[in-house]
């Protein structure tokens, strides 16, 4: 039985197993299984490899998209440029890192962008592994961006820096943090939501719940909101192509 799966820290609310199980059924694939592999720390990855000799591919989620890099034998050219990995291809004992988040995010975002938003700028909430793929995609789309973090860093705004004028000059706001992810659905990025306008697009990479508080607050202001479910499907399909071709 060929084994595929997902590594991360808290995986109990992931949709990936049901997505791949459905895929296997639809395509009549009988010799594949998709499993969750929660790792308390990234060092446990070596133990996982030893215990799962039939592994053929893995997805990687929070918080290991960057921490996984030293454990890999190589990176695709795009993953190298992004600096984060969400897909691992296992061939002849070699582990090659890829990033399909870029494709999933970019394709999902492009479908929703208005002409006005295309000419505006983006606020990227969070500086973790997921933000790396978002930044790469925004560069591909020639959309200027500004990173936002809880802690002050060079070229990074804090949430306290987000004035009304900053919000108004950035019509795309992308949440790459886990704030609002199930089961902690009552959390949300601390933005001045009163400054959100109907011209804004709020993209939350979270897909569980379907509508986070971040999205709900945007909806109340008339903004366009997107969750990460389509991105999940697109990146998963691209990962499957990598694993099987």
Q: Which residues are catalytic?
A: 65
d(CA 221, CA 39): 39
Q: Is the peptide bond before 74 cis (omega within 30 degrees of 0)?
A: no
What single string gives the DSSP state of each residue in 186-208?
T------GGG--TT-EEEES--S
CB-facing half-sphere around the CA of 148: CA atoms within 13 A: 23
Instruction: State the DSSP code for 43.
Output: G
167 and 191 Cβ atoms separated by less than 8 Å: yes
Measure Cα distances from 129 to 63, 64, 158, 167, 178 in Å: 7, 8, 18, 24, 12
d(CA 198, CA 116): 12
């Amino acid at each position: 039985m060929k084994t595929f799966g997902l590594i991360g820290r808290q995986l109990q609310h992931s949709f990936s197993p049901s997505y791949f199980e459905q895929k296997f059924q639809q395509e009549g694939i009988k010799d594949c299984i998709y499993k969750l592999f929660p790792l308390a720390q990234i060092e446990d990855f070596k133990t996982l490899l030893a215990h799962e000799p039939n592994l053929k591919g893995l997805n990687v989620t929070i918080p290991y998209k960057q921490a996984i890099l030293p454990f890999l034998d190589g990176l695709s050219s795009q993953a190298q440029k992004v600096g984060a990995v969400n897909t691992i291809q296992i061939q002849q004992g070699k582990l090659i890192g890829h990033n399909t988040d870029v494709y999933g995010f970019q394709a999902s975002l492009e479908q929703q962008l208005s002409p006005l938003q295309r000419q505006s700028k983006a606020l990227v909430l969070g500086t973790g592994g997921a933000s790396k793929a978002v930044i790469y995609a925004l560069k591909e789309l020639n959309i200027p961006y500004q990173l936002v973090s809880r802690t002050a860093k060079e070229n990074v705004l804090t949430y306290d820096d987000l004035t009304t004028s900053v919000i108004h000059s950035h019509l795309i706001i992308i949440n790459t943090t886990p704030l609002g992810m199930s089961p902690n659905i009552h959390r949300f990025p601390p933005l001045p939501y009163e400054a959100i306008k109907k011209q804004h697009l709020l993209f939350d990479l979270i897909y569980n719940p379907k509508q986070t508080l971040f999205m709900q607050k945007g909806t109340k202001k008339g903004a366009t909101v997107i969750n990460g479910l389509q991105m999940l499907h697109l990146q998963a399909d691209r990962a499957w192509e990598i694993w099987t071709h």
